[in-house]
Homo-oligomer: A and B are copies of this chain.
């Protein structure tokens, strides 16, 4: 039996990510950086903040000046002035002294804490009563408390969220080095497929996979180029694949569920220069007849034609490859799964991983995962679905009421 006829497990399939290189890097402006993958570690060249700041409106003091102060026994402090926002006050605070300060103000020399205005009363313009004892460090942010000089502030290979953009702003970084977004070519095959703009004749259906795959690619921040429909003609398929390979970083061919097209796809791959079929078949359902090839150092996928199968394979297998070439590394754990309870018993075959579409229903504070049964060619089952649950290789099924992890769709 040839290597590529051996069905791979998901983990075995994902190991092939190492065969593909991450994208080149480019510089983008901070404004355009959210959603991109940071290319390199960012080390802070400053203490943040580089001055002690108040986080309350009140009075900057030496904490020791307030020791023992209470409602019945207030401390009396001499007010030496006011800190203006965004500047050094030039004032200093000694024992028994204080300076008015607002949230965000720079602590004057000698002060080590801030008494909240609510815990004071002004006796006159130059004297306040303090009703609380304050510890040094209270109600202030210390120098370097947010990030210390020379500390790694951000790690490369991670997607820039709004807060990472905020950190870059805090460090004064206006141009950010990120990985290029990959471009993914999408080809639909099958003699029965017609473009969306046409009215299908007998036995024909409109092209759905181009649009579902396009959306999935766009959701990852990658660029999708649709190459339309190729009928069961290996010369046409080869020409379209060649063009796509010259313009894209990865190719998704869907269709070929029928014997004829499947054979065409394999033939076209093997006839391409510098090509190698890495696997043909993954032990998942739906989605088993998936092909991965490497052509000219690019990943070339043969995805099932059934829309649900193609979407499941994309979300579980293709997506980690796109993330890999996008520079995100391979170890990212699945953090976005949510927990729900299964609303009915589910049977499953051993020796493969089953993906079941589910709808989430909130009832009396419990989130139920309600399986949506239906053939893998039915797009409506995906429209109704909020997520997928995974039934492992060695599991015969799941009982009603069991806790399941839901992968959001």
Q: A: which residues have CB within 8 A of B?
A: 30-31, 34-35, 48-51, 53, 55, 57, 83-88, 102-106, 141, 145-147, 153-154, 160-174, 190-194, 196-216, 218-219, 226, 232, 257-260, 305-307, 311, 333, 335-339, 360, 362, 375-380, 382-383, 385-386, 408-409
**Residue of B48, B85, B192, B380 touching A192 (CB-CB under 8 A):** B85
**Number of copies of this chain in the oligomer?**
2
A311 proximity list for chain B (CB < 8 A): 162-163
B102–A259 CB distance below 8 A = yes
Known: A30-B196, A166-B208; 20 extra A-B contacts, CB below 8 A, are A34-B214, A55-B375, A86-B190, A103-B258, A104-B377, A105-B203, A145-B375, A145-B378, A146-B379, A162-B211, A162-B213, A162-B216, A163-B383, A164-B383, A166-B382, A169-B206, A169-B208, A170-B208, A174-B197, A335-B360
Asked if residues B166 and A85 are in contact (CB atoms below 8 Å), the reply is: no
22 A-B residue contacts at CB 8 Å?
A31-B214, A85-B192, A86-B203, A87-B202, A102-B260, A104-B205, A106-B203, A141-B375, A163-B382, A163-B409, A165-B214, A166-B215, A167-B383, A169-B208, A170-B205, A170-B379, A172-B196, A172-B199, A174-B197, A335-B338, A336-B336, A338-B339
Q: Are B102 and A30 in contact (CB under 8 A)?
A: no
B213 and A196 within 8 A (CB): no
Contact A105 B258, CB 8 Å, known A169-B207, A206-B170, A378-B146: yes
Residue of B whose beta carbon sits closest to that of A357: B163
